[in-house]
Structure 1
């Protein structure tokens, strides 16, 4: 057996090829497509590994002041008589803003409020006259008692002096009588003279006692006058206070009647009038908003209402892209902001309807966003943003690499398989 691998006939056939050897060469265009494909594959792999994608949640909302927009409402039904502040005006706390008249007429009496006011003014004038009269009478009574008290003191002092003189006369007459008694035995003085002198002493003593009694009576009357003067002050003060209370009641009734006739709406805080929703002569109802106030030192924030399906990754600090309906973003661009706060619980639909004034069919979360700027650049000038402007917002909720987004289903499937296997084991 020969050691050759091929038969001799084959080798001879190979040596007899007339057209030469057959060779296969790749075309040059193929190398170009191969390079393009390889580069594309590398680029796609690089994009998947290094590229990132941010998921956004698109929601709607409005601009509101961070300290709240104050609504000035009408207390009762009436007609707007005057508007004292207009949109853009800066007002201070307590400043009148709107006057609302509330006329009330009666078929029998006509304009009842004017009639009641006239009667109350007549009563007020009568009470004021009574108050002046009481003061005048009180002054007269006070002066009369003081004058009588002064006269009583003068008369009492006069009686005291008279009683003193009468005592001196009685003492002198008694001394003379005692001298006569010592010389009675000498019969120098007759008995008749002695009796006359004794009677004179008794007469002087009686006059002294009477004068002292009169003085005591005058002192008693002076004490009574002093007590009457002391009691007069509280009495006059009580009468004056009662009259003053009556006057105050009438003034209160006048104020209440005037309040029913016309009401002045005043600013509760200092701020800027942002919107006037009424006109002079317009009929208004109780609780209707007349105008709104933007408090001083307050900034606008975006108030967003986010559904529960999008709230999972929304938290403070997340960037937000804002697009205002009044300024189309295709022409004026969009503004940046950051999430300030997220409500802990969802607001029910009825509460949202009261706040927004539109029908809402599902609970949503309230999210506040701080604005990067309080103005919008419009045709080369800055326009101030206004409360109530509608807007559309994109909240950046999650940023991941593209490869994570691509392989996330496989990763989830790998995580779910052990759980499925353990569940099958448990069933067995």
Structure 2
């Protein structure tokens, strides 16, 4: 073939265009440079003036204030009787369950035998106390009767003493008169001596009567003291037996506790759930019932924030909330405000009381968590003409907004880390 045609013809056929082409001139370089510069400037301005807020998603749960009251079994036994049903409104102290915790031996129930013995001792002590009170009344009454007799005798002797005193005064005046008569020579000296002897004899009688009167008054005072002392002695004996009686009552109450326990309501409220039924065995710490206090509840969201995020939030910050029970694709996100922040790490015991806490998430790294409370704008929703309400324990996913920085700072974060790793010791 190459020998039949000229080489130029063959090359022409190979390079010949089959179709038509429109050739235009290329874009000027200054336009490309201008567009590139504009793009770079816009990018730089975007990185400098546009900000990005770091966010963190945290799971939490809805709680009410006051929180539901959980009743637990204090001992091992079985439920012998149930006094309420789910939904019942109860008062503080109202019985909910009767728990049988008695022990049985070959001689019968230990508690029943002990109760009989304690009741017999109580009856004996009551009889002794009654006898002591009766003896106290009799003894005090006898002393009071003696006192009354002494008071009567004292009153009579007092009258006699007054009359004797008048006689002594009269004898004294006569003696003084006889002395004047003897000086005037109207009477003899023997008559004066007789009158003087009569005066001193009257005075001696008065002194004897006065001493007897004093003895009677002292005896009355002694009887009054005996009344008080005797009453105190009997009261001491009665108090000792009363103390023994109280000890026996205490032992009797312990026996009753060792046989049956009454699980009562700690506050006014409504029975939300009953975990056990009559005849069911329970162990120490088993859940028996759940009670919602009869107070208008306040709904809050409890969140557990890790220690690397707690410095960037403060009270009053807004957060976004998405409830698992109300998908955000249908209901959207809800608003909440941080109400309180605990600046002390939560203990494991506290976190164990919340089902959504990190204590139940074994995949989470061990670190300090801080409890924050979030106030909710609403706790009711409407959907298809139905009113939906939040309930205690609902899980919710929340978005917290942390530090806000320009985009270029986020871009250069790895370089900051490299710089910090290359630095030496920090000096003040």
Spell out, residue by residue over 1:177-203, the C-alpha distance to the aligned partner (whole angstroms, 9 max, x if none). xx9xx9xxxxxxxxxxxxxxxxx9999
Please name the residue that 2:249 is paired with: 251
1:123 to 87, 105, 121: 121
2:226 to 183, 207, 228: 228
TM superposition shift of 1:105? 2.4
Structure 2: gaps (5+ residues): 1-19, 25-38, 182-197, 424-428
Please name the residue that 1:360 is paired with: 362
Distance verdict in 2 for CA 1:351–1:115, change over 3 Å? same
Please name the residue that 2:64 is paired with: 65
- Distance in 1 (CA, whole Å) between partners of 2:323 and 2:200 is 124
- Distance in 1 (CA, whole Å) between partners of 2:417 and 2:205 is 138
- Distance in 2 (CA, whole Å) between partners of 1:117 and 1:324 is 56
Secondary structure (helix, strand or coil) at the match of 1:249 reads helix
- Distance in 1 (CA, whole Å) between partners of 2:233 and 2:97 is 47
Please name the residue that 2:299 is paired with: 300
- Distance in 2 (CA, whole Å) between partners of 1:417 and 1:119 is 81
Contact 2:321–2:396 (Cα < 8 Å) also in 1: no
Contact 2:322–2:332 (Cα < 8 Å) also in 1: no
Give RMSD over aligned pairs. Answer: 5.2
Distance verdict in 2 for CA 1:320–1:134, change over 3 Å? same
Please name the residue that 2:412 is paired with: 412
- Distance in 1 (CA, whole Å) between partners of 2:121 and 2:222 is 38
Contact 2:64–2:299 (Cα < 8 Å) also in 1: yes
TM superposition shift of 1:222? 3.5
Distance verdict in 2 for CA 1:88–1:377, change over 3 Å? farther
Spell out, residue by residue over 1:240-270, the C-alpha distance to the aligned partner (whole angstroms, 9 max, x if none). 3223222222222222222332333344444
TM superposition shift of 1:117? 2.0
Please name the residue that 2:195 is paired with: none
TM superposition shift of 1:299? 1.5
Secondary structure (helix, strand or coil) at the match of 1:59 reads strand
Give the alignment of 1:13-412 within 5 angstroms: 57-107=56-106, 109-159=107-157, 218-295=216-293, 296-306=295-305, 316=315, 317-325=317-325, 327-329=326-328, 335-344=334-343, 347=346, 352-353=351-352, 355-356=354-355, 358-361=360-363, 362-363=365-366, 365=369, 366-395=371-400, 404=407, 411-412=411-412
TM superposition shift of 1:111? 0.9
Spell out, residue by residue over 1:218-255, the C-alpha distance to the aligned partner (whole angstroms, 9 max, x if none). 55543432331232222232233223222222222222
Instruction: Report the structure number with the largest CA radius of gyration.
Output: 1
TM-score under structure 2 length normalisation: 0.63
- Distance in 2 (CA, whole Å) between partners of 1:336 and 1:321 is 6
Secondary structure (helix, strand or coil) at the match of 1:149 reads helix
Contact 1:318–1:339 (Cα < 8 Å) also in 2: yes
Distance verdict in 2 for CA 1:159–1:52, change over 3 Å? closer
Contact 1:349–1:360 (Cα < 8 Å) also in 2: no
Contact 1:92–1:270 (Cα < 8 Å) also in 2: yes
- Distance in 1 (CA, whole Å) between partners of 2:354 and 2:50 is 42
Secondary structure (helix, strand or coil) at the match of 1:391 reads strand
TM-score under structure 1 length normalisation: 0.63
Distance verdict in 2 for CA 1:52–1:85, change over 3 Å? farther
Spell out, residue by residue over 1:396-415, the C-alpha distance to the aligned partner (whole angstroms, 9 max, x if none). 557899xx5xx777x52997
- Distance in 2 (CA, whole Å) between partners of 1:359 and 1:294 is 28
- Distance in 2 (CA, whole Å) between partners of 1:113 and 1:215 is 66
Please name the residue that 1:11 is paired with: none
